[in-house]
Amino acid sequence: METSTDPVEVLSRVFGHPGFRGRQEEVVRHVAGGGSGLVLMPTGGGKSLCFQVPALCREGVGVVVSPLIALMEDQVAALRQQGVAAAALHSDLPEGEARNVLRDLHHGDLKLLYVSPERLTLEGMLGRLEELPIALFAVDEAHCVSQWGHHFRPEYRGLGVLSERFPRTPRLALTATADQRTVEDIRRQLGLQEDPVFRGGFDRPNIRIEAVPREQERAQLRALLREEAGKGGAGIVYCGTRNKTEQTAEWLRGDGVDALAFHAGMDSEAKRDAHRRFARGDSVVMCATIAFGMGIDRPDVRWVAHLDLPKSPESWYQEIGRGGRDGLPARALLLYGAGDIALARHRIEESPAAPEQKRIERQRLEAMVAIAEAATCRRQILLRCFGEDDIPPCGNCDVCLSPPKLFDGTVAAQKMLSAVLRTGRRFGVAHVVDVLRGRMTEKVAQFAHDRLPTFGVGKDLSDLAWRGVARQLVARGALDVAVENHGELVPMEAARPILKGEEKVLLREDVLRAGTAPAGGSR
């Protein structure tokens, strides 16, 4: 193959694209000129060309580290179709084929070699590469090197040797999921501290983002489907558990929707089948756990719904980023509830992870809760997590489109907290609300809770509204839900300043209004 050192010429001749997008050209010129760095671009942002083009502009083979065999195979197949000499080397490759790849590598017949991290860091492999001209090293999905992410792969840790063994070869790390801490971690691990970070295009303005308290999950999902009906394309429903993916898909099918399920517990045949049907179906809906993701290349995913709270803004962003890759309007709907938040907190506390890791996960979860409970533009809060600080309100999230009215809910919060305290921290939200509303239930009678001073002080708000107050108190950490027991509400440290009247509680009115009791009651 003739070589050219002009990136734009390579882009058009080999890949058939008339021009670069976003920061691609800057990255490509930097690397083609021998520079190293870190690329932060969202999924669909065009990261592949950032290393493929400079590899073709430079002498030698471009070595690409990739964590997933399926991903490698896809890219290699696509490159070969474009006439680029590419191959993959990983543990699933039959020995004979691996030998052929190594032979081609030594003959200088390869322009791009995809390799798994554990394979690359074998001493024998590094030794071989030292004898060859290497155009560059690309570390794809570079967040796998960081323990900050939940995609940490121990094999990635070994990649630190590249900067030592190949100090003069350009190294380009690429990722779509990186908050500031992950970025610093990647740079440290891969020896890129002195090199530039190319950050761009995280905003996906065509995705309208909405977060709504969960009321009736299925009715809410059905409403979304109805609004999106007739638009074709595909939709994704992310569920918190494997069971739920199957149940939701089955329920949707009963509703006449072409729905599939996908989770890590399925065998590879079933997974492949689901992938294939999702890729082709018209108005197909995939109900999946987060295991469904890497390798989705469908540009017309019109909506992504989360029935359960994602672990972090990074994962949420990555998952909703699978919508609207064609640039046309797409939607992201997040349903959340106090139970989710509490459950996620407890999972973290009970996990065997190290204290430092737990602290990280706690922070990420709180950041996610802050987005769900946002009283200001959700996209601003989300993008701030990726270091994009100076973004104006987006105009395409539910908060921007219909700003929530905030009201001073301090008194309501105090009533709720004192009802929790006076009932002895032993009851779930249903009973506490009964007490607040002054309802003479069997349980109220049994515990003589009608004699409490808080009995009936909350007649001005409906049950739903009180649940909203509870949820917002859980969200701000003033209450906890004992999920491992019977969902008892437990006051936390943050409740104290609220009870003492030292801290105001601004509540989102719309969350409560849905259930406000009919007017006319005493105020």
Residues at the site binding Zn ion, with contacts judged by CB under 5 A: 377, 379, 394, 397, 400
Shortest Å distance, C-beta 334 to ligand ADP: 22
Q: Which stretch binds ligand ADP (CB under 6 A): 41-49, 184-192, 247-255, 494-502?
A: 41-49
Shortest Å distance, C-beta 400 to ligand ADP: 27
Q: Are β-strands 488-491 and 479-482 bridged in parallel, bridged antiparallel, or unpaired?
A: antiparallel
Q: Which stretch binds ligand ADP (CB under 6 A): 47-55, 110-118, 327-335, 493-501?
A: 47-55
CA distance linking residue 452 with residue 22, whole number of Å? 63
Selection from ligand ADP, Zn ion, none that 400 binds (CB < 5 to 8 A by kind) is: Zn ion
DSSP letter at 522 equals: -
Which candidate, 382, 367, 370, 307, places its Cα nearest to that of 340? 307
Q: What is the DSSP string of 242-304?
A: HHHHHHHHHHHHHTT-EEEEE-TTS-HHHHHHHHHHHHH-SSEEEEE-TTSBTB---TTEEEE
Selection from Zn ion, ligand ADP, none that 418 binds (CB < 5 to 8 A by kind) is: none
Shortest Å distance, C-beta 56 to ligand ADP: 14
Does 206 bind ligand ADP (CB under 6 A)? Our answer is no
Altogether, the residues listed in the chain come to a count of: 523
Burial letters 75-108, b for 16+ CB under 10 A, else e:
bbeebeeeebbbbbbbeebeeeebeebbeebeee
Does 20 bind ligand ADP (CB under 6 A)? Our answer is yes
CA distance linking residue 23 with residue 78, whole number of Å? 23
Which candidate, 44, 60, 45, 46, places its Cα nearest to that of 5? 60
> Hey, which bits of 99-246 come out as E strands?
112-115, 134-139, 171-175, 197-199, 207-213, 234-238
Shortest Å distance, C-beta 381 to ligand ADP: 23
Q: Pick the closer one to Zn ion by CB: 50 or 397.
A: 397
CA distance linking residue 118 with residue 65, whole number of Å? 9
Does 46 bind ligand ADP (CB under 6 A)? Our answer is yes
Q: Both tokens of residue 293?
A: 């993701």
Number of chain residues interacting with ligand ADP (CB under 6 A): 12
Q: Pick the closer one to ligand ADP by CB: 41 or 377.
A: 41
Does 336 bind ligand ADP (CB under 6 A)? Our answer is no
CA distance linking residue 246 with residue 287, whole number of Å? 7
Selection from ligand ADP, Zn ion, none that 234 binds (CB < 5 to 8 A by kind) is: none
Shortest Å distance, C-beta 354 to ligand ADP: 31
CA distance linking residue 414 with residue 169, whole number of Å? 62
Residues with Cβ within 8 Å of residue 165, at least 6 apart in sequence: 126, 130
Q: Identify the residue among 14, 24, 84, 399 touching ligand ADP (CB under 6 A).
A: 24
Does 13 bind ligand ADP (CB under 6 A)? Our answer is no
Q: Pick the closer one to Zn ion by CB: 93 or 400.
A: 400
Shortest Å distance, C-beta 158 to ligand ADP: 23
Shortest Å distance, C-beta 43 to Zn ion: 21
Does 49 bind ligand ADP (CB under 6 A)? Our answer is yes
Shortest Å distance, C-beta 7 to ligand ADP: 11
Positions touching ligand ADP (CB under 6 A) are: 17, 20-21, 24, 41, 43-49
